Amino acid sequence: MSVSIADRLQTLAGNMTGVILASFCNVSVGSISKYMKGGTPDVENAIKIARAFNVTLDWLLTGNGPKTWNKSHLQPKPTPQPQPEPQQPAPCSHESLLEDYVFIPGYSMVTATAGGGAINDSEVADEQYAFRREWAVSDAGIDPDRSAIIRVDGDSMEPTLSRGDVILIDCRDTSFSRDAIYVFQWDDGLFVKRIQRATNSCFDVISDNPVYDKKTIHPAELDNFRVVGRVMWVGRRM
C-alpha cells in the first residue's frame, strides 16, 4: 500500500495537534487540516513544512529520494580519507522545540458580544492556541495559566473588533485598573467593550462603533457585573 502525503506528515507531526503543527510550520490551521486529509500542499507551504522538519521536498511530496536534507547530496563524493570520527550534535526533538511555545486554552463555543449580549452555556476549553514564549511571556507579560481565548460576535466594536475575531483575555486583570477593552459579564450576557472610568465610582461602557450609544455603570449595578479580564490580543481571518 502506498504511503500518502498525509501519512508522511502524520509521521513528522507525531503527537502534535493540528493547531500546534500549524504554528510550528507557520502554516494556517485550515491548510494543515486539508493536508492531513490527503490534500497536496502548494509550493510555498510545502517549503515551510520541509524546512520546519528538515526534510527534502522530494521525500515530503513523493516519498522518493533522501528524507533528510544534506548539502552533500549536491556534492561529488570525495576520495575517502582517514578522518577522526565526527561528533554529531544531538538531534533536536519536537519536545525541545515545543518549549519555545506556550499554549493558551480556547473556548470555541463561548462568544463575547460586541452588541446586545449573549448567554453562553458552554465553558469547556476545546482548543489550544500556540504563541511563542518570548513574545507571550517576556514581551506581553501573559500568564498562560490565567488566560483564555474566545470569539467575538456583533459589530458594536467595529473597526477594532469584528464578528468572528478571536481575542486573548488576561484573566488576572479584573478591576478596571486601566482604560482598556475588557470582557465582562453583565446580568446574563457576556460582552466585550471599551471601559473608561467616568468618576470614582462610575464607569463608561463604550462601543468603538459610533452607531452605538455609550452606557454608564453606576455602583448600584455592580452587583450584577463581573469582569472576566482585559483583552490583550486579537486575531482574525483576512
**Domain boundaries along the sequence of the chain:** 5-71, 101-235
* Per-residue pLDDT tens digits for 99-147: 788 888 888 878 887 665 554 545 677 788 888 888 888 788 888 888 8
Q: Is it true that 5-71 and 101-235 share their CATH fold?
A: no
- Considering the domain delimited by 101-235, tell me its CATH architecture: Ribbon (2.10)
**79-83, 204-208, 210-214: which range is least confident on average?**
79-83
Let me know: does 231 contact 192? Beta carbons within 8 Å.
yes
Residue 231 banded pLDDT, cuts 50, 70, 90: very high
Select from 185, 195, 171 the least CA-distant residue to 119. Answer: 185
What is the Rg, in whole angstroms, of the alpha carbon atoms belonging to the chain?
24
pTM of the model: 0.57
Q: Please tell me which residue, 206 or 178, carries the higher pLDDT value.
A: 206
Assigned CATH topology for domain 5-71? 434 Repressor (Amino-terminal Domain) (1.10.260)
Q: Say if CB 193 and CB 144 are below 8 A apart.
A: no
d(CA 118, CA 203): 21
